[in-house]
Structure 1
Amino acid sequence: MNDSPVVRTSASSQTGHRFRYYDFVMAAFVTVLLLSNVIGAAKPTFITISGEQWIYGAGILFFPLGYVIGDILTEVYGYARARRVIWAGFAALLFMAFMSWVVVSLPPAEGWEGQAAYESVFGQVPRIVAASIVAFWAGEFVNSYVMARMKVWTQGKALWSRTIGSTVVGQGVDSLIFYPLAFWGIWEPAVVFTVMATNWLLKVLWEAVLTPVTYLVVGWLKRREGVDIYDEDTDFTPFSTST
């Protein structure tokens, strides 16, 4: 399949246009979002630095990939289509939380001995689930908004400044919402702020490390789709799913 010439265009001129790879990027976003919450969220692990163990949640290795894909969505397809994907992810998280609650609550069949392990993995504290969903929603929309606005401000130059800058703000909002909502009153305030700052920093650094990959994917998608979209006249309300 030959690449198309890349044409600069406004987001509004692409309303209703069907892109070749948009659905695949959406599927990747939702997949990473769900799996990072299901598989990685419940397991603490550690890394040894200078002989000292640093404990962190395993999900941090993959959850930031959602922000990377979110950056790619906004950069390639514009804010409106990224907004649609964020709502899809939000709905998927709600369904996952509901399904987990129902399945864990069902009585186990006689002779099945996996209920305790199942509850350990899939049982969720409602407060933490609610905090996670709200933080995701707010953080992703802020991330996409900053990404789209910075693209216009920079005239499409210095992609790295947009990906890292939007992550600094978006992950900051995510962390500021999630950790106090989930753990205030359970952990000591100093622990809440320490974990919040540490995880925010790790996520931003992870985004910076993945910047070369973002460049490759963004360049490839733009050539295949044939457009470079700018949100110059976009309605940035989050409460819509129109493109």
Structure 2
Amino acid sequence: MQSSRAVTPGARNFRYYDLMVGGMVAVLLCANLIGPAKVCTVSLPVIGALSFGAGNLFFPVSYIFGDILTEVYGYSRARRAIWAGFGGLVFASIMAWVVVAMPASPNEPFNATLQPALEVVFGNTGRIVIASMVAYWLGDFANSYVMAKMKVMTGGRYLWTRTIGSTLIGQGVDSLTFYPLAFIGIWESQTLIKVVAFNWTMKVLVEVVFTPLTYAVVGFLKRHEGVDTFDRHTRFTPFSLRDEGEVERYD
């Protein structure tokens, strides 16, 4: 049962918040460091063969983390997690560039094959790196904003409507930002449209499939943290790290 008594946003120490943020950042780093190096192809009935970047296996999971953080802890704490993820992406991208650019030792025999492999795996062009960061930042904030607004509108009911609804918007913003920024002028327009549509659809379907798991994790966290957050008076600016939102007791 949920109580309507609001408490001070900063008055609680959360047991699992840091773990959720760490999980979200780890997924984002995997998506950007492991995923971009490989293009996968799967054969589906009726549709046939479909190709997609392996990073798309990770990004929907990061949105599930974003949904859970916003639902349980509120927009302002999800905002902090988004900035933590963005900082992690910036640092990882810079360090990947440094490692690839550093001269390889001529005394190490494996460098002859290792260096070209590193350049393939971690040597993304600056355009793709920037497109990925911008798309992540815009998409995650759009996802969290829609999630928080829909929660207030529904009075905290019908969780599935806001997890799926926020993903439709967030992943749409992500895909419509990343692919044009990264590949317009390189791919044909028809190819670009098909890739955007396919990746957006696939990411939303992952959210739908994982909805029962999202329900289970949200329920666990609300019970064990003893809170449920509503963003009735939150300032929805991305450029703040303040704790806001009405944190309500969850019995």
Contact (CA 8 Å) 1:8, 1:230: kept in 2 or not?
A: no
Measured after TM superposition, the shift of residue 40 of structure 1 is 1.4
Contact (CA 8 Å) 2:24, 2:62: kept in 1 or not?
A: yes
| Distance (Å, rounded) in 2 between the aligned partners of 1:150 and 1:58 | 31
| Distance (Å, rounded) in 2 between the aligned partners of 1:139 and 1:157 | 24
Match of 2:62 in 1: 66
Greater relative contact order (Cα < 8 A, sep 6+): 1
Match of 1:232 in 2: 232
Q: What is the aligned counterpart of 1:100 among 82, 91, 96?
A: 96
Match of 1:43 in 2: 38
| Distance (Å, rounded) in 1 between the aligned partners of 2:180 and 2:120 | 23
Q: Deviation string for 1:128-164 (max 9, x for gaps)?
A: 0000000000000010000000000000110000000
Measured after TM superposition, the shift of residue 16 of structure 1 is 4.8
Instruction: Note the aligned Cα RMSD (angstroms).
Output: 1.4
Match of 1:208 in 2: 208
Q: What is the one-letter code of the residue matched to 1:240?
A: S
- In structure 2, relative to structure 1, the CA distance for the partners of 1:39 and 1:8 (3 Å cut) is farther
Q: What is the one-letter code of the residue matched to 2:75?
A: Y
In the superposition, the TM-score normalised over structure 1's length comes to: 0.94
Match of 1:166 in 2: 166
Q: What is the aligned counterpart of 2:80 among 76, 79, 84?
A: 84
| Distance (Å, rounded) in 2 between the aligned partners of 1:72 and 1:8 | 20
1:130-141 equivalences in 2 (<5 Å): 130-141=130-141
Contact (CA 8 Å) 1:141, 1:238: kept in 2 or not?
A: yes
| Helix, strand or coil at the partner of 1:56 | strand
Residue 26 (str. 1) matches residue 21 (str. 2)? yes
Measured after TM superposition, the shift of residue 58 of structure 1 is 1.4
Match of 1:189 in 2: 189
| Distance (Å, rounded) in 2 between the aligned partners of 1:8 and 1:179 | 43
Contact (CA 8 Å) 1:34, 1:93: kept in 2 or not?
A: yes
Contact (CA 8 Å) 2:36, 2:121: kept in 1 or not?
A: no
Measured after TM superposition, the shift of residue 228 of structure 1 is 1.0
Q: What is the one-letter code of the residue matched to 1:81?
A: R
Measured after TM superposition, the shift of residue 56 of structure 1 is 1.2
Contact (CA 8 Å) 1:9, 1:229: kept in 2 or not?
A: no
Structure 1 gap segments, 5+ residues each? none
Q: What is the one-letter code of the residue matched to 2:199?
A: N
Residue 117 (str. 1) matches residue 117 (str. 2)? yes
| Helix, strand or coil at the partner of 2:52 | strand
- What number of residue pairs does the alignment pair up? 238
Structure 2 gap segments, 5+ residues each? 244-251
| Distance (Å, rounded) in 2 between the aligned partners of 1:155 and 1:41 | 40
Match of 2:246 in 1: none
| Percent identity over paired residues | 55
| Distance (Å, rounded) in 2 between the aligned partners of 1:23 and 1:187 | 40
In the superposition, the TM-score normalised over structure 2's length comes to: 0.91
| Distance (Å, rounded) in 1 between the aligned partners of 2:140 and 2:76 | 13
Moved more, 111-120 or 131-140: 111-120
| Distance (Å, rounded) in 2 between the aligned partners of 1:215 and 1:67 | 14
